[in-house]
């Protein structure tokens, strides 16, 4: 989100989206930053609400082309640092630590930072003072009255702002469709304690590596019941070490062990915190599940707790991992069966509480899919905010506030950019379509050698296939060869001389043939050679 006035503009959060299984081979989805490049001169700073991937993940892609100062809490910036180092941007980026209660002035704006609760510690909302009034951007939040790490959300400040008057509230909609209250991070204590204290064997807990509260709780309980803790996975190590170094997670002396010490640690004296709660194929949990991890392994009766929500689209991958875990005779505990997970986002009643505390003149639901934004808009209207002051905007919409009020008043280019591998290269829609096509139908490459003089096909065409079942079917391939020969030889001399054209003709004929004969649509790439 970009917020601007005159020649001053700043950006709130620069996140990534995770690709779903339709985006084959795409590693990351980052926002189309055309607006940023177009407004290079105006953009003066980036403010980060918290350290989750969907809020900081695309930072290096922006900073690589536009060097502006970045503001965020200690933990948020701690989590950015590795990423910037990986992209060799750490040295050239100005990182400014800010704390809740502080204020930063930028042109006509004053940005105040407010402590909020979330699944990650050190999250903040922003109260942005503008000449037209104050805008509150909640970031991601819930009302957690008893967080494991740090203090609860600063309701006093939110109420004080409500008292003074707020022009617009931009609020997290992720759980707008969930009734009631989201639990506190402490609610997981009971289930965790049951498992950690009663199991006479190893306990593995898979969770998001940024779940500060969850990880702190697991470490406390492990220490209480005499278990050592090992961290598995690169991001688990990085994020937990950062949180330990910055003082957000406390580990009693001697509790943390290296993964190499796992084999010699007694089964009832071990807790493993692992990445891979989404079934990512190369994650530590997936490797453990197929007994392919260098140090960690599972024996019958070991317990594996999946302490995370399964993000839609990852269901099949998670299911695959669970099958492997059962094959190793592990007990698997899912968040749907036991209270081993609570969401980091406020449910409907908390969204109402936020609206009632802040009492904004205008309301803009943010964060979430369209259906969640609509649900959140309904909640606001239900509390008496008139429809014309509920601004339901989607990516690219420009919201204007001036003397006449607030409205959606324009559109800027936005969209998704696909990042393939670790390089900055973008994958276009065409590449994606090709991959989709290949994954469904496979590929057929007819290699045709045409005599330049008489336009005849000299030797029988060679047919190479991949991911297409015809490999075994000799008769079908003979028909394909005959079809190619008749296509070439039934064409005029002019057509045959134009190789682009003859390629296309072969392609069209084969496409028709395969569709009719096999009901399949392989990708067909004819190679025409001169002989
Ligand atoms: Zn978040
Ligand atoms: Zn988020």
The pLDDT value given to residue 157: 97
Is the C-alpha dihedral spanning 41, 42, 47, 52 positive or negative?
A: negative
The more confidently predicted of residues 500 and 488 is: 488
63 CA to middle of ligand 2, Å? Answer: 20
The pLDDT value given to residue 39: 96
The pLDDT value given to residue 420: 60
- Strands, sheet with 28-31, edge to edge from the N-terminal-most edge strand: 28-31, 416-419, 426-427
The pLDDT value given to residue 21: 54
55 CA to middle of ligand 2, Å? Answer: 6
119 CA to middle of ligand 1, Å? Answer: 7
Distance, CA of 394 to CA of 381 (rounded, Å): 18
182 CA to middle of ligand 1, Å? Answer: 14
Nearest ligand for residue 119 CA = 1
Task: Please check the confidence at residue 63 and state whether its pLDDT lies above 80.
Answer: yes
Lowest mean pLDDT among 172-176, 230-234, 460-464: 460-464
Q: Half-sphere exposure of 523 toward its Cβ, with a 13 Å CA cutoff?
A: 15
Lowest mean pLDDT among 250-254, 276-280, 466-470: 466-470
The pLDDT value given to residue 455: 82
DSSP 404: T
Nearest ligand for residue 123 CA = 1
341 is annotated as an active-site residue: no
For 9, residues 6+ apart whose C-beta sits below 8 A from its C-beta are: 2, 3, 39, 42, 43, 44
The pLDDT value given to residue 433: 67
Q: Give tens-digit pLDDT for 107-129.
A: 999 999 999 999 999 999 999 99
531 CA to middle of ligand 1, Å? Answer: 62
The pLDDT value given to residue 517: 85
Lowest mean pLDDT among 103-107, 137-141, 386-390, 515-519: 515-519
294 CA to middle of ligand 1, Å? Answer: 32
DSSP 457: B
The pLDDT value given to residue 424: 47
Q: Give tens-digit pLDDT for 364-391.
A: 999 999 999 999 999 999 999 999 999 9
Q: Tell me how far apart the terminal alpha carbons of the chain are, to the nearest angstrom.
A: 59
Give the confidence band of 299 by pLDDT, cuts at 50, 70, 90.
very high
For 111, residues 6+ apart whose C-beta sits below 8 A from its C-beta are: 10, 47, 71, 103, 104, 105, 126, 127, 128, 129
The pLDDT value given to residue 27: 66
The pLDDT value given to residue 472: 60
Nearest ligand for residue 372 CA = 2
Distance, CA of 255 to CA of 229 (rounded, Å): 6
For 152, residues 6+ apart whose C-beta sits below 8 A from its C-beta are: 117, 143, 144, 145, 146
The pLDDT value given to residue 381: 98
77 CA to middle of ligand 2, Å? Answer: 16
Distance, CA of 329 to CA of 300 (rounded, Å): 5
188 CA to middle of ligand 2, Å? Answer: 21
367 CA to middle of ligand 1, Å? Answer: 10
Lowest mean pLDDT among 107-121, 167-181, 284-298: 284-298
Nearest ligand for residue 368 CA = 2
- Note the pTM of the prediction, 2 decimals: 0.81
166 CA to middle of ligand 1, Å? Answer: 24
The two structure tokens encoding residue 467: 């991911």
Q: Which residues lie near ion ligand 2 (Cβ < 5 Å)?
A: 54, 140
The pLDDT value given to residue 251: 97
Task: Please check the confidence at residue 292 and state whether its pLDDT lies above 60.
Answer: yes
Give the confidence band of 421 by pLDDT, cuts at 50, 70, 90.
low
The two structure tokens encoding residue 485: 């020969």
396 burial level (CB within 10 Å; 0-12, 13-18, 19+): middle
* Whole-number average pLDDT of the chain: 91
Distance, CA of 262 to CA of 276 (rounded, Å): 18
Do residues 189 and 219 make contact, with C-beta atoms less than 8 angstroms apart?
Answer: no
Nearest ligand for residue 118 CA = 1
Which one from 122, 154, 172, 420 is the annotated catalytic residue?
172
Distance, CA of 219 to CA of 241 (rounded, Å): 13
The more confidently predicted of residues 422 and 485 is: 485
Task: Please check the confidence at residue 331 and state whether its pLDDT lies above 80.
Answer: yes
Give the confidence band of 425 by pLDDT, cuts at 50, 70, 90.
very low
Nearest ligand for residue 124 CA = 1
The pLDDT value given to residue 412: 94
345 is annotated as an active-site residue: yes
Q: Give tens-digit pLDDT for 206-239.
A: 999 999 999 999 999 999 999 999 999 999 999 9
Give the confidence band of 458 by pLDDT, cuts at 50, 70, 90.
confident
Q: Strand, helix or coil at 418?
A: strand
Q: Give tens-digit pLDDT for 14-43.
A: 998 876 655 555 667 888 899 999 999 999
Which one from 55, 293, 345, 376 is the annotated catalytic residue?
345
Give the confidence band of 423 by pLDDT, cuts at 50, 70, 90.
very low
243-272 mean pLDDT? 96
Find the farthest-apart pair of alpha carbons in the chain and give their distance in angstroms, rounded: 89
109 CA to middle of ligand 2, Å? Answer: 24
């Amino acid at each position: 989100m970009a917020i601007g006035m005159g020649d001053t503009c700043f950006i709130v959060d620069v996140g990534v989206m995770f690709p779903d299984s339709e985006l084959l081979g795409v590693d990351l989805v980052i926002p189309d930053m055309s607006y940023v490049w177009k407004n290079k001169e105006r953009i003066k700073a980036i403010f980060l609400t918290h350290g989750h991937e969907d809020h900081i993940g695309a930072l290096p892609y922006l900073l690589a082309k536009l060097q502006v100062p970045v503001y965020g809490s200690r933990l948020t910036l701690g989590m950015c640092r590795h990423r910037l180092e990986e992209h060799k941007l750490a040295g050239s980026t100005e990182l400014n630590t800010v704390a809740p209660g502080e204020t930063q002035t930028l042109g006509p704006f004053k940005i105040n930072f407010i402590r909020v609760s979330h699944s990650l510690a050190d999250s903040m909302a922003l109260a942005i003072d503008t000449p037209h009034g104050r805008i509150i951007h909640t970031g991601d939040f819930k009302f957690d009255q008893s967080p494991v790490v740090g203090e609860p959300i600063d309701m006093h400040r939110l109420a004080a702002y409500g008292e003074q008057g707020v022009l617009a509230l931009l609020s997290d909609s992720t759980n707008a469709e969930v009734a009631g209250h989201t639990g506190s991070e402490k609610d997981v204590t009971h289930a965790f304690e049951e498992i950690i204290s009663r199991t006479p064997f190893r306990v593995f807990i898979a969770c998001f590596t940024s779940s500060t509260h969850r990880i702190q709780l697991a470490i406390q309980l492990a220490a209480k019941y005499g278990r050592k803790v090992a961290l598995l996975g690169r991001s688990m190590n990085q994020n937990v070490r950062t949180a330990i170094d910055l003082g957000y997670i406390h580990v009693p002396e001697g509790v943390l062990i290296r993964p190499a010490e796992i084999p010699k640690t007694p089964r009832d004296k071990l807790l493993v915190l692992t990445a891979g709660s989404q079934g990512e194929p190369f994650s530590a949990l997936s490797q453990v599940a197929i007994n392919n991890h260098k140090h960690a392994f599972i024996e019958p009766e070991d317990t594996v707790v999946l302490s995370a929500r399964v993000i839609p689209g990852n269901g099949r991958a998670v299911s695959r991992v669970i099958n492997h875990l059962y094959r190793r005779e592990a007990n698997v505990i899912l968040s749907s069966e036991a209270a081993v997970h609570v969401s980091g986002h406020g449910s409907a009643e908390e969204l109402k509480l936020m609206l009632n505390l802040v009492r904004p003149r205008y309301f803009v639901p943010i964060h979430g899919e369209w259906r969640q934004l609509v649900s959140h808009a309904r909640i606001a209207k239900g509390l008496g905010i008139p429809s014309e002051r509920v601004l339901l905007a989607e990516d690219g919409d420009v919201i204007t506030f001036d003397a006449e009020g607030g409205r959606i008043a324009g559109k800027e280019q936005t969209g998704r950019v696909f990042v393939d591998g670790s390089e900055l290269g973008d994958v276009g829609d065409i590449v994606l379509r090709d991959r989709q096509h290949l994954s469904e139908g496979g590929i057929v490459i007819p290699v045709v050698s045409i005599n330049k003089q008489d336009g005849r096909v000299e030797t029988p065409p060679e047919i190479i296939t991949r991911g297409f079942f015809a490999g075994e079917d000799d008769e079908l391939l003979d028909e394909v060869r005959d079809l190619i020969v008749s296509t070439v030889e039934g064409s005029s001399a002019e057509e045959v001389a134009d190789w682009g054209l003859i390629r296309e003709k072969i392609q069209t004929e084969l496409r028709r043939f395969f569709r009719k004969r096999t009901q399949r649509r392989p990708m067909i790439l004819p190679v025409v050679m001169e002989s």
